[in-house]
Amino acid sequence: MADQSVDLIYADPPFNTGQRRTLQTLRTVRDEQGGDRVGFQGRRYRTLRLGSSSYLDVFDDYLSFLSPRFVEFRRVLKDSGTLYVHLDSREVHYCKVLLDSIFGRSCFLNEVIWAYDYGGRPRRRWPAKHDNILVYVRDPRRYYFDPEGAERIPYMAPGLVGPSKAARGKRLTDTWWATIVPTNGKERTGYPTQKPLAVLRRIVRTSSPRGGLVADFFAGSGTCGIASHEADRNFLLVDDNPEAVRVMARRFEGVQGVQYEGFSPRS
Ligand SMILES: C[S@@+](CC[C@H](N)C(=O)[O-])C[C@H]1O[C@@H](n2cnc3c(N)ncnc32)[C@H](O)[C@@H]1O
């Protein structure tokens, strides 16, 4: 894909990459022109691969899967572009450090907490009921962000803010309450890791312009594409699992102008 061609990337990566666990030994050297990482005071560095050896650290494996993809995501984002990476509390800290090194700390915009209330409640710890979504921008001076893109929500104590404010509602913060995809609702596709449209609508409408291009390279059931299509954005969905592409094709049945590559919607 061309450099700087995408307005918004949403990434909901698989945790279990299924790859062989190989430790890459890396070294970085200063390179202001062609560097793929940003360090202290915005200095750029190029990564050199020195060799590899087998090991058992699942997080290093995970990060070595994600790292080259994050580098490409940054490359294809426009100056006004934004990346959302959907993670959970076990992975988010590792990915934050990795993304800081690729985008630069000054390009970190938010950590959105998506809180839900579903599933069991173990008695030996606080039941984990949230996901973490890291938000990075390509350029902190130029990124697109429409604060009115997402719906408003009711005040908790409307009596304290006056009738007109109470009627208008308040803007969302970085903590979002939204239910998971209901198990028997019409939105449900059957794809196991499907995310709710309510979450993707907020992301797409706030962080991409109408007519812009939204890309999801771990698209699963295509939720990000549905949210983009509804809001008049163009979309590019990629998944290496043929079942995911079949689910997406079913979801987009009857939608004009959808093109497929490496897949026939009638198969
Ligand atoms: C967590 S799911 C995404 C779910 C999606 N957000 C939705 O709402 O349905 C991650 C997806 O990444 C896909 N995937 C795994 N490895 C991949 C790879 N190397 N390239 C592209 N897709 C991959 C999986 O097939 C899976 O559908």
pLDDT tens readout for residues 201-210? 999 999 999 9
Distance (Å, whole) CA 175 – CA 112:
6
Tell me if the pTM is above 0.85: yes
* pLDDT tier, 182 (very low <50, low <70, confident <90, very high otherwise): confident
Distance between Cα 154 and ligand 1 center (Å): 34
User: Residue 116 pLDDT more than 70?
Assistant: yes
Query: Which residues sit with their C-beta closer than 6 Å to ligand 1?
Result: 12, 14, 191, 193-195, 217-218, 220-221, 223, 238-241, 244
Cβ atoms 49, 9 nearer than 8 A: no
Q: Write the residue with the smallest CA distance to atom 15 of ligand 1.
A: 14
User: Residue 165 pLDDT more than 90?
Assistant: yes
> Residue 266 is which amino acid?
R
Residue 229 CA: distances (Å) to CA of 81, 95, 190, 209 = 18, 29, 21, 12
Comparing 114-118, 141-145, 211-215, which segment has the lowest mean pLDDT? 114-118
Q: What is the Cα 115 distance to its own chain's centre?
A: 16
Residue whose C-alpha is closest to residue 174's, from 157, 150, 194, 158? 150
CATH superfamily for 6-21+56-87+98-251 is: Vaccinia Virus protein VP39 (3.40.50.150)
Distance between Cα 222 and ligand 1 center (Å): 10
pLDDT tens readout for residues 52-82: 544 345 677 889 999 999 999 999 999 999 9
Which residue carries 């921008």 as its tokens?
137
Q: Which of 114, 191, 218, 229 to mutate to test the pocket of ligand 1 (most atoms within 8 A of CB)?
A: 218
- Of ligand 1's listed atoms, the one at least distance from the Cα of 200 is 8
